[in-house]
C-alpha cells in the first residue's frame, strides 16, 4: 500500500502520526486560508480541510489526509498571529477564560472506480489561567507563538498557561489522533501499525 499523503506542512501533525506508525509522505497544499467575511469557525476549518485534501488528491490509488486547526472564542477565529503584537493581543483575549480548539479533517482516496471521502470535526475546551503583561511579553519574546493558531503551543512553554483541557489533548496540538486513526481504519486508508497497542 502506498503511504498516506499528508496535505499539511505541520511538523506536529507529522510527528503525531509517525509516532504511532503511520507511513506518510508529506505534500503540503497551497491554498488560500483566509477566512471569508462572516464565516463561522466550524465552517471555516471544514472548508479549509476539504480544500487542502482536494488540492493534493491527484494521485490514483493513494489516500490523502488534510486537517485544519483554529482557536475560537466569542465566535471569533484566532488563527496564526502575524506579529508579536498580534500574538500578545490574542493571549490577552484568551487569558483567564475558556476557549475552543477546533480541528476539521478530510480523508479522500480511491480504489478502482470507487471514491471515498470522509470528513470529521473535533472540538476541545481549553481553560487558560490569567496572564499578566510580563508573562505575555516573555512568551511573545520566546517566539514559540509563531505558526500556532491562537498564538500558543500547549506542547511547549504555554503548557504552563493551561489549567484544564476537556476533550482531545492531541487536538489542541494540531490533530485529534484517536478520531483520525479511527476514520483511517474505517475507510481502509493507511493507519497505525502495531504502535502504542493500537490495532491496524
Which residues are known to be catalytic? 68
Q: Which of 62, 134, 128, 48 is nearest to 95 (CA)?
A: 128
Helix (DSSP H) and strand (DSSP E) numbers for the chain: 6, 7
By CB neighbour count within 10 A (0-12 exposed, 13-18 middle, 19+ buried), where does 134 fall?
exposed
Cα 51 from Cα 188, distance rounded (Å): 21
Cα 81 from Cα 146, distance rounded (Å): 7
Tell me the C-alpha to C-alpha distance, in Å, between residue 172 and each of 74, 108, 124.
18, 23, 7
Helix axes 84-94, 133-142, angle to 10 degrees: 140
Cell of 88: 500578545
Q: Which of 48, 187, 180 is nearest to 108 (CA)?
A: 187
Amino acid at each position: 500500500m502506498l503511504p498516506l499523503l499528508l496535505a499539511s506542512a505541520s511538523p506536529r501533525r507529522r510527528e503525531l502520526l509517525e509516532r504511532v506508525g503511520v507511513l506518510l509522505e508529506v505534500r503540503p497544499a497551497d491554498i488560500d486560508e483566509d477566512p471569508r467575511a462572516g464565516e463561522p469557525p466550524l465552517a471555516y476549518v471544514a472548508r479549509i480541510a476539504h480544500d487542502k485534501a482536494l488540492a493534493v488528491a491527484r494521485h490514483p490509488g493513494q489516500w490523502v489526509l488534510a486537517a485544519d486547526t483554529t482557536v475560537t472564542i466569542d465566535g471569533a477565529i484566532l488563527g496564526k498571529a502575524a506579529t508579536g503584537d498580534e500574538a500578545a493581543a490574542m493571549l490577552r483575549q484568551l487569558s483567564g477564560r475558556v476557549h475552543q480548539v477546533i480541528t476539521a479533517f478530510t480523508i479522500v482516496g480511491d480504489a478502482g472506480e470507487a471514491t471515498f471521502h470522509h470528513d470529521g470535526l473535533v472540538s476541545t475546551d481549553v481553560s487558560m489561567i490569567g496572564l499578566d503583561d510580563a508573562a505575555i511579553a516573555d512568551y511573545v519574546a520566546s517566539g514559540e507563538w509563531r505558526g500556532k493558531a491562537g498564538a500558543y503551543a500547549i506542547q511547549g512553554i504555554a503548557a504552563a498557561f493551561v489549567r484544564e483541557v476537556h476533550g482531545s489533548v492531541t487536538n489542541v496540538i494540531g490533530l485529534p489522533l484517536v478520531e483520525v486513526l479511527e476514520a483511517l481504519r474505517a475507510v481502509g486508508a493507511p493507519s497505525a501499525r502495531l504502535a502504542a497497542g493500537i490495532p491496524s
